[in-house]
A and B are shown apart, each in its own frame.
Chain A
Amino acid sequence: MKLLKSISFILALPVLLILWWVAATLGGASFFVPTPADLGKTFIETWVGERMFTDVLPSVQRLVLGVLGAIVLGVLLGLLVGMNRTARAITEPVFEFFRALPPPVLIPVLMLLVGINDGMKIAVIISGAIWPVLLNTIEGVRAIDPVQNETSRSYGISGLARIRYQVLPSATPTIMAGIRQCLSIGLILMVISEMFASSSGLGFAIVQFQRSFAVPEMWSGIVVLGLIGVIMSFIFQWIERRVLRWYNGLKEVENAV
């Protein structure tokens, strides 16, 4: 009974919205909004098959490479800068500027510097998505409890071992918050780098549909992007729960006391 209730809570509103959509398009679909049945049919026709391999998978591959690159580079550079007070002070204004710079403006720059190819799109994703990871790593390292640092020092834990067992774990909650932002920026940049300069990929396909007024196909592309966003968010939440299990447990204990 309890299970049934929570399932109905999860499903009730989406079902209502879809019913409303069906009812609203019943008297003949408008030009801009296809009927649910049309959209479903177009979705399968458009995306299941060849397009999956020519547009969707290459885009996703670029996204994954770009985001992984941004995370690895951001954490490494963040550790390097965050552990040195002077380096932090020197880089702060420059990094603040790059964080505040809206990442899409990097596309025309990288088009010039790298040229229009796959490398450019990955470079766009890395150069836009690295800032939240980098700045959060710096902040996470900076905010480490000084008692921990002093304990490490007095036990003679230094170098890689210190980073591995003390610095990284303490900074992980902050780094994960940065990675969450990095993912959504990465997805945005993947789409618009393809809209701006490309002859393949999801963003290109969607713009192509829109320009040829293939409205149901365009909507199906929007659905694909939405699904990618939702799947990414679920994967991230799953990883975050596992990585931060100790942290969430600690917080629960602290809150209970």
Chain B
Amino acid sequence: MSAITSTAPAEARQAKRRKSGSKFPNGFWGLIGIVTFLGIWELVPALGIVEAAYLPPASEVLMTLFADLALTAFWVAVGETMLAWFIGLAAAVLLALVLGLVIGMSSFLRRATNSTIEFLRPIPSVALIPLAVLLFGTKIESSLMLIIYACFWQVLIQVLYGVADVDNVAMQTARSYGFSQIQRIRDVIFPTMLPYLMTGIRLGAAVALILAITAELIIGAPGLGKEIQLAQSGGAIAGMYALIVATGLLGVAINLCMRIIEKRVLSWHASVRGENAA
């Protein structure tokens, strides 16, 4: 017994060290990583390993990116991409939430739809690209169709898991206290489902960006992807790389925002509370 208690502080110290990195904070190492990466990128074309015409040095690309940041056209493209991203994600979440609740709450519907869902889910959304072109051409609706299809399944599956996870005792208690259907959804099912739903939305947000960019790149719907395609076919190689870096930064920003929102919304939930305490 005493042996166990005596190791506890040592373990805690070790855990602390593990968390913060050995001598320097993790942020410092991360910065070194970024600088090294940019340094290699700078050197590869400078040493002639890859022709600078195909891979401009990092400094040139970053300068172009900064120049882009001052242009209205750049922000218009970002806005168009984000608009498709947001509408598509919101529509998919709403649709999946409603259908997920309806299907998840009835064991009959769950069993009846299982095979169809398992069959439709792995169909790649890009298979719909030709259909989208035929129906909507290069308008934003093309992007929306792909985004909604891809995100819908991500969110629906999570909602179904979430509804299935509802505690039977809690449900029966609610029933015997005479909770109405709406009360049961709001006070019993929703809190259980929320962590799952947030996971679904977080995954869906990343997928939505991928498909927004894909639709713009392949179909030519307005947005960053189309600008990349135009830069590439116009031979503005540094511009193309700058836009690609911008797309990646947009992705990082979306991931970070989603994680923050998830933490806020689930601040009451054990999984998040545990993380904060540790």
B209 touches A90 (CB 8 A): no
Tier of interface size on chain A: 35 or more
Query: Which of B22, B114, B135, B248 has the most C-beta atoms of chain A within 10 angstroms of its own C-beta?
Result: B248
Cβ contacts B47-88/A at 8 Å (1 or 0 each): 000100011000000000000000000000000000000000
* CB-CB under 8 A for A96 and B252, given A102-B213, A226-B123, A229-B122: yes
Q: How far is the CA of A91 from the CA of B130 in the complex (A)?
A: 38
Q: How far is the CA of A184 from the CA of B33 in the complex (A)?
A: 29
Q: How far is the CA of A147 from the CA of B114 in the complex (A)?
A: 41
Chain A residues with CB under 8 Å of B247's CB are 101-102, 105
* Stretch of B89-97, B163-171, B237-245 lying at the A interface: B237-245
Q: By DSSP majority rule, is chain A's interface helix, strand, loop, or mixed?
A: helix
CB nearest to A237 among chain B residues: B118
Chain A residues with CB under 8 Å of B33's CB are 89-94
CB nearest to B54 among chain A residues: A112
**Contact residue among B21, B37, B209, B218 (Cβ-Cβ distance under 8 Å from A192):** B218
Chain A residues with CB under 8 Å of B210's CB are 102-104, 188
CB nearest to A103 among chain B residues: B210
Which A residues fall within an 8 A CB radius of B? 6, 9-14, 17, 32, 85-86, 89-94, 96-105, 107-109, 111-113, 146, 184, 187-188, 191-192, 195-196, 203, 206-207, 209-210, 213, 215, 218-219, 221-222, 225-226, 229-230, 232-233
* CB-CB under 8 A for A232 and B122, given A9-B112, A9-B114, A13-B113: yes
**Number of B residues with CB within 8 Å of any CB on chain A:** 61
A89 touches B55 (CB 8 A): no
* CB-CB under 8 A for A105 and B124, given A86-B22, A90-B30: no
A-B contact pairs, 25 of them (CB 8 A): A9-B111, A11-B115, A14-B116, A17-B116, A85-B18, A89-B29, A92-B30, A101-B248, A102-B209, A102-B251, A104-B210, A105-B213, A105-B217, A107-B217, A108-B229, A188-B124, A191-B126, A203-B126, A206-B127, A206-B130, A207-B130, A209-B130, A222-B127, A222-B130, A229-B124
**Contact residue among A12, A102, A108, A209 (Cβ-Cβ distance under 8 Å from B112):** A12
Shortest CB–CB separation between residue B135 and chain A, in angstroms? 7
Chain A residues with CB under 8 Å of B254's CB are 100
B266 within 8 A of A: no
B225 within 8 A of A: yes
For the complex of A and B, 6 pairs with smallest distance between CB atoms: A100-B251, A89-B29, A210-B130, A101-B248, A90-B33, A225-B127
Query: Which of B32, B210, B244 has the most C-beta atoms of chain A within 10 angstroms of its own C-beta?
Result: B210
B30 touches A230 (CB 8 A): no
Number of A-B contacts (CB under 8 A): 171
Chain A residues with CB under 8 Å of B244's CB are 101, 105, 108-109
Chain A residues with CB under 8 Å of B241's CB are 109
Shortest CB–CB separation between residue B246 and chain A, in angstroms? 10
CB nearest to A13 among chain B residues: B116
B134 touches A32 (CB 8 A): yes
Shortest CB–CB separation between residue B214 and chain A, in angstroms? 5
Chain B residues with CB under 8 Å of A111's CB are 232
From 146 to 175 in chain B, residues with beta carbon under 8 angstroms from any chain A beta carbon are: none
B214 touches A184 (CB 8 A): no
Chain B residues with CB under 8 Å of A232's CB are 122
Shortest CB–CB separation between residue A140 and chain B, in angstroms? 16
CB nearest to A228 among chain B residues: B124
B34 within 8 A of A: yes
CB nearest to B29 among chain A residues: A89
Q: How far is the CA of A41 from the CA of B247 in the complex (A)?
A: 43
Chain B residues with CB under 8 Å of A11's CB are 115
Q: How far is the CA of A112 from the CA of B127 in the complex (A)?
A: 25
| Known A93-B30, A184-B124, A229-B123; further 14 A-B contacts with Cβ < 8 A | A9-B111, A14-B119, A89-B33, A94-B33, A96-B255, A102-B209, A102-B210, A102-B251, A104-B213, A105-B217, A112-B237, A219-B131, A225-B126, A226-B127
